[in-house]
Amino acid sequence: MGEVMCPHCGSKETVKNGESYQCKDCDRVFGRDHETDDGLNLEEVMTGLRFSYEQSEDRSIHMRFAEEENVPDVVYEFYTAENGKISKEADVISLKEWNELKHMLIYNLFVCDWDRQYFPVNDGSEPLIGQRWRLDLILQGEDQEISYRGDGVLPPYFRQLTALLKKYAKS
């Protein structure tokens, strides 16, 4: 995976601390919690994913993965919209690939440690105007999901997230 970056502040000054990591800059511990708010193992109960990223008013991407019970493959869809033109692709991946994707999100991108909302703070830095994103992890059961979103601010692992998902886009 390379250097482990803190999912809270983006620092690469991190140390292994048992089964988790600790950031030397912000002093926060990460990588130990892999559970939902209800205490369930996220990797076991995650059955889908939705991701959207609006880079500007006229350019966006949307992805969706959906695991169905007793079905050997996972369906995914990829939409792009640019300058009023929309394209859509759909395909399937194996359960093995889906489980690897979930594992990467949880154990390599530390998604369980991400903030639920990212928004500009008054620290003198410039927000990314027009850039909105959302990541929903769909859980077993009706209408259960964990949502992460941002407007003008990206989480430290955003580039790695988009690189991970990009391999499912054919165009």
Domain 1-32 has CATH 2.20.70: yes
pLDDT digits (tens, 9 = 90+) for 111-131: 999 999 998 776 656 666 778
CATH number of the 33-166 domain = 3.30.1560
pLDDT in tens, 42-69: 999 999 999 999 987 788 999 999 999 8
Chain region(s) in the chain for CATH 3.30.1560: 33-166
Strands 132-139 and 145-151: antiparallel
pTM of the model: 0.90
End-to-end CA distance of the chain: 26
Going across the sheet that includes 29-30, the strands are 14-17, 20-23, 29-30
More confident residue, 130 or 37: 37
Helices marked H in the chain: 42-45, 95-103, 158-166
State how far the Cα of 9 lies from the Cα of 113, in Å rounded to an integer.
11
Q: Are 63 and 77 in contact (CB under 8 A)?
A: yes
Q: In the chain, which segments carry CATH 2.20.70?
A: 1-32
